[in-house]
Structure 1
Amino acid sequence: MDQLPKCDANYVPLTPINFLKRAAKVYGNRLSVVHERTHFTWQQTYERCLRLADSLRSFNIAKNDVVSVLAPNIPALYEMHFAVPMAGGVINAINTRLNPNHVATILRHSEAKVFFVDYQFVQLARQALQIMMTSESISSKLVLPSVVLIDDIESPTGAIFGEWEYEQLVRKGNPGYIPYEVQDEWDPIALNYTSGTTSEPKRSCL
């Protein structure tokens, strides 16, 4: 039994991407998201995630690159848990109740390449980025992440922060994008940090 190799017939790595793909195929017309007046079916959710993943590739997201997001429980955050791994990246969902110093620490430590920010937390994100730029302990090689605003999906506020808005990325992405396939369950797809810690946040890779 020790000589039994992995192959398509006996092994498939379990990932959320596979769950979403199957749900879109089997239950495509059933609801997957209900958020106030916003409703998406499984097929719509799958297509939106493919589009977003394709757009993320334009940020040069490669395998194991971190994409951070500062947002409450909204459809965009849900979609990013699929779209980021589809692009080969690692999603880092940041607790919205953290202070600017801890947010800055997480962005710096994770080396996030892209930072998605919900419109309600622009001030917090701006303060965190400012701390990153002014901290004396930061290496001169620090590269700030690209910033993407997540506006209200139902009633856009017109807020401006960063070069892109979330729905713009969804619209411009290719629905025929072929997602990155996780080859091994040891490959990371999520990076979480502790909250309420007595020192700096500690990370846990999933």
Structure 2
Amino acid sequence: MRQHYEAMPRNDANFVPLSPLSFITRTADLFPDRTAVIYGARRYTWAESYARMRRLASALTNAGLGLGDTVSVIAANTPEIFEAHFGVPMAGCVLNTINTRLEAETIAYILENGDCRLLIVDPAFAPAVVPALEALADEVRARIRVVDIRDAEMGDLPPIGDEDYESF
């Protein structure tokens, strides 16, 4: 059966290249007013979520990031990590989600060897993230911009970076 499919000439009727980005665009177009995200008191429709993803992509581009640059995220299952899964590739960047249960040494290794340029982080993970950033060589640390997720569900925690996600 596979040989028949592969021999078939590709055209608009039988072949459409799919990507997660086409999924989110289509979903936002078809179901703009339906709820996409519920997180604590926050609720976003598909249209709102898609707009937030595009704003993240624009912010990354305006920050000088682009094709092949690594954006790392250390966060729980929040709207921001959902947005990053689409907004980061929209900007042509590579998303590197880092397990929240890792220790500082491993996080530092991933940030350095993954060539991280921007870290989006929830301050709830400061006990591992701060020592990881401190363990990096100065030239590695200097290239990583840190953006905090201000998660009201987690309380008012001191920031790790110099800017927050919503104003980034």
Instruction: Give me the TM-score of the superposition, normalised by structure 2.
Output: 0.86
Distance 1:45 1:142, change over 3 A: closer
Distance (whole Å) between structure 1 residues aligned to residue 53 and residue 132 of structure 2? 28
- For the aligned residue pairs, the C-alpha RMSD in angstroms reads 2.4
Choose between structure 1 and 2 for higher RCO, CA contacts under 8 A separated by at least 6 residues.
1
SS of match in other structure, 1:168: coil
Distance (whole Å) between structure 1 residues aligned to residue 90 and residue 67 of structure 2? 10
Distance (whole Å) between structure 1 residues aligned to residue 157 and residue 103 of structure 2? 25
User: What's the counterpart of residue 26 of structure 2?
Assistant: 22
Distance (whole Å) between structure 2 residues aligned to residue 142 and residue 30 of structure 1? 41
Query: What displacement does 1:13 show?
Result: 2.6
Indicate the structure with greater helix content.
Answer: 2
Equivalent residue pairs, number: 163
User: What's the counterpart of residue 60 of structure 1?
Assistant: 64
Once the two structures are superposed, what CA deviation does each residue of 1:49-77 show, in whole Å capped at 9, x if it has no partner?
01111001122111111100000111100
Distance 1:127 1:27, change over 3 A: same
SS of match in other structure, 2:44: strand
Check whether the contact 1:38–1:154 (CA below 8 A) recurs between aligned residues.
Answer: no
SS of match in other structure, 1:113: strand
User: What's the counterpart of residue 161 of structure 2?
Assistant: 162
Query: What displacement does 1:80 show?
Result: 0.4
Once the two structures are superposed, what CA deviation does each residue of 1:136-175 show, in whole Å capped at 9, x if it has no partner?
xxxx677531110111156872633222200112xxxxxx
- Identify unmatched segments of 5+ residues in structure 1: 135-139, 170-206
Distance (whole Å) between structure 2 residues aligned to residue 151 and residue 65 of structure 1? 24
Distance (whole Å) between structure 2 residues aligned to residue 24 and residue 2 of structure 1? 34
- Identify unmatched segments of 5+ residues in structure 2: 1-5
User: What's the counterpart of residue 151 of structure 1?
Assistant: 150
Instruction: Give me the TM-score of the superposition, normalised by structure 1.
Output: 0.71
